[in-house]
Structure 1
Amino acid sequence: MVYELAVIRIHDGKQAEFEAAAKQAIPLFQRAKGCSGMEIRHSVETPTEYHLIVKWATLENHTVDFRESEDFQTWRGLVGPFFAQPPAVQHLDTLFVGF
């Protein structure tokens, strides 16, 4: 399992609109090959910062299957207008889980 972590910074004052658009995108991830869950978390300290966390079976499920799909274009069309800058994306392996 690989986790995608995207740090998303949006334009100030657009939080409610971004959140509504991101919620509309849930089905895009639900039907994506190799995706077993996604969540968006909101920064407490930085109101314009969100973290998208997606669980992928393989790195390629994200970087190839999803990124080259029409659903990815739909995702970017929904949330992209709110980006203050391009998201910072990285992929993470689980080293261990405490409790």
Structure 2
Amino acid sequence: MILQSSMLKVKPGKASEFESSFRKSQSLLAGTRGYISHELHKCVEQEDRYMLLVQWQTLGDHAVGFKHSPARAEWESFLQDYYERETETDHYVRIRLE
């Protein structure tokens, strides 16, 4: 499993509209091959900052499958105007601690 972490900086005063658009568009993400789950978190200290966590079966499911799909283009049409700057995205694998 791969965990995608994306830091999203939303334009000031647009948080509520962004959250509404995210709710409407999240099915585009969820319908992608290899998708497992996602969560959106709002920062407590910075009201226009969000963290999106998405679980994928493989890195390719996100980096190739979703990024080059028509669903991503539609997803971006819902959300890209809310971003103050480009999102920062990284991918992680879980480290067993036992």
TM-score (norm. length: structure 1): 0.94
Aligned-partner SS, 1:24: helix
User: Once the 2 structures are TM-superposed, how far is the Cα of residue 9 of structure 1 from its aligned partner?
Assistant: 0.1
Partner of 2:80: 80
- The CA distance in 2 between the partners of 1:57 and 1:23, in whole Å, is 23
Sort the Cα spacing of 1:64 and 1:18 in 2 relative to 1 into closer, same or farther, 3 A: same
Structure 2, unmatched stretches of 5+, are none
Partner of 2:17: 17
Superposition map of 1:1-99 within 5 A: 1-96=1-96
User: Once the 2 structures are TM-superposed, how far is the Cα of residue 95 of structure 1 from its aligned partner?
Assistant: 1.1
Structure 1, unmatched stretches of 5+, are none
TM-score (norm. length: structure 2): 0.95
User: Once the 2 structures are TM-superposed, how far is the Cα of residue 30 of structure 1 from its aligned partner?
Assistant: 1.7
Size of the aligned set, in residue pairs, is: 98
- The CA distance in 2 between the partners of 1:90 and 1:24, in whole Å, is 24
Where has structure 1 moved over 3 Å in runs of 4 or more?
none
